Structure 1
Amino acid sequence: MIFLVLGSCNSIKSNTSNPSQIASQNDSQTQSAIKIAGSSSSVTIFKVLTEAYQAQDKTAKIDFVSLSQSEGAIAALKNGIVDIAGSSHKLKPEENNGKIQYRELAQDLLIVATHNSVQGVTNLTTAQLQSIYTGKIVNWQQLGGPNAKIVVLDRPEDESAKKLLRKYYLGKDETTTNAIVLNKEGELIDTLQNTPYSIGAFSLAYSLINQLPVHRLSLNGIAPNKENLTNGKYQMVRKLGIIWHKAPPPSTQKFIDFTFSSEGNKLLLDKGFIPSN
């Protein structure tokens, strides 16, 4: 009886140690996962990279969190919540704690596009685009299109897309109060596809990858394509960068190496981005 009781106790002790060992193993696996946070403008490029990387390395685990702004992603990196941050701006001095580093990853053309219900409008001049966003032109018929009210889809003033629109086309004039402001680029793209007679600005690469049924407009007679970017004719381009710790875990470094490899460059080029490497 004593032998059996002692044997049972030892068995219980042995069994109760297993869950902690398993938990420890799970914790180790969780820690090895690469955690990435990116602004809404960098979602597409990281989706392309992570899918290709995981197809190459079946054991790689990557968790991605989409935030509305680059600042939030950078803060998450500095606070140790994520391993990599995607950003649409260079690392600012006030954002740099000396432990992280920035490198430009690719350039992403921004296009101005309309819902496919807008027939007859293929090009807009700077003056026409300004008039649309300020509310001076309110009907597509004024531009040779259908007799329908223009629905302006906009981004917040501190977002990269709106900043570039202002820099190259809109200037400082206030946007019409009738514009629908959407916080994330994905929200704008979804809304544009589902809203007849709408117009908005977003990523060319996203448009190409997802084969969006929208009308990409030329601006001042210049089409938004890679050729016109490389020859300097089309200037509305967003620079996407990647930020990570100076002493990253091996799994993170391996992913970083992939993003800047010749394979990574070719992948981005094929998807409509212009690699910076």
Structure 2
Amino acid sequence: MMKIITARVILGLVVLGLCSCNAIKSTTTNNSSQTTSQNDVQTQPPIKIAGSSSSITVLKVLTEAYQAQNKTAKVEFISHSQSEGAIAALKNDIVDIAGSSHKLKPEEDNGKIQYRELAQDLLVVFTHNSVKGVTNLTTNQLKSIYAGKITNWQELGGPNAQIVVLDRPEDESAKKLLRKYYLGQDKTTTKAVILNKEGELIDTLQSTPYSIGAFSLAYSAINQLPVNRLKLNGIEPNKDNFTNGKYQMVRHLGVIWHKAPTPTTQKFIDFIFSSEGHKLLQDKNFIPSN
């Protein structure tokens, strides 16, 4: 009888020991899994993006939405005022994605990168909110302002105040479009204030009474800027008038990335060209490309 009791005690201790070992093993495995998961999050490389000043807005809109869905996703923006600088950074593996306001040129293509248009963004002429009574300009009036032939808003039905022309460098997409559709090749007044980045022009226009300049409709709408949007030749700059061909001054914004991207970069690219990304761009006053 005593032997039977002893055997049962020993068996119970063995079973208890096995259970304890399994519990310790399970806890160790769970902790290891959690540590691995945390390490994966910490070591996940960021997506590095460079873009022209005109393409950064659309890329930041998409990035915010993407990160809202992918909490561990990390994105870093590297500033470039021109598309050429962003494309050079991509080719030199400094960034994973380049935003551009022009299609990839043959001389920029090294055979390892690819371009796809993302959206169109209307370029609109705005004035500081101190300019009352001027809501429309004809082509001749706009040309005369930029050439320095019309220098006072009173000549256009506005306040008795000197016009402050805010402009971009000749090689920037905004100035190229203004010349293509309205300004022609007339020389710009030497009194114009030249600003290298679109963000600088936007900030300066908001803080400078009686100023005029051209920048992104989408940026204005997204940030609800307190500025005056002008019609040109009686045409309201909006998506409907772009669609029907009445308003044509738009920038074509695209992205460029490596033909063999990292999985992290490819996941982001898939998102920005998805139906969800398409709808987001529409909601933010961009015109998504098909």
TM-score for both structures, normalised by structure 1: 0.90
Does 2:133 correspond to 1:126?
A: no
SS of the counterpart of 2:253?
Answer: strand
Q: CA deviation at 1:27?
A: 11
Question: Which residue does 1:66 correspond to in 2?
Answer: 79
Does 2:107 correspond to 1:115?
A: no
Map Cα deviations across residues 5-24 of structure 1 (whole Å, 9 max, x no partner).
xxxxxxxxxxxxxxxxxxxx
Does 2:268 correspond to 1:222?
A: no
Q: CA deviation at 1:65?
A: 1.4
Letter in 2 for 1:51: E
Q: Which structure's CA Rg is the greater one?
A: 2
Aligned residues: 254
Consecutive aligned runs of 4 or more in structure 1 exceeding 3 Å deviation: 25-31
Output the CA distance in 2 between the equivalents of 1:264 and 1:28. Answer: 24
Question: Which residue does 2:286 correspond to in 1?
Answer: 273
TM-score for both structures, normalised by structure 2: 0.86
Question: Which residue does 1:164 correspond to in 2?
Answer: 177
Identity of aligned residues (%): 83
Question: Which residue does 1:103 correspond to in 2?
Answer: 116
Unaligned runs of 5+ in 1: 1-24
Unaligned runs of 5+ in 2: 1-37
Question: Which residue does 1:18 correspond to in 2?
Answer: none
Does 2:260 correspond to 1:244?
A: no
Does structure 1 retain, via aligned residues, the 8 Å contact 2:123–2:174?
yes
Output the CA distance in 2 between the equivalents of 1:248 and 1:28. Answer: 19
Output the CA distance in 2 between the equivalents of 1:29 and 1:66. Answer: 24
Output the CA distance in 1 between the equivalents of 2:42 and 2:169. Answer: 39
Question: Which residue does 1:196 correspond to in 2?
Answer: 209
Output the CA distance in 2 between the equivalents of 1:59 and 1:184. Answer: 31
Does 2:182 correspond to 1:143?
A: no
Letter in 2 for 1:219: L
Map Cα deviations across residues 14-38 of structure 1 (whole Å, 9 max, x no partner).
xxxxxxxxxxx98995662100000
SS of the counterpart of 1:85?
Answer: strand
SS of the counterpart of 1:41?
Answer: coil
Map Cα deviations across residues 72-106 of structure 1 (whole Å, 9 max, x no partner).
00000000000000000000000000000000000
Output the CA distance in 1 between the equivalents of 2:105 and 2:42. Answer: 33
RMSD: 1.5
Q: CA deviation at 1:62?
A: 0.3
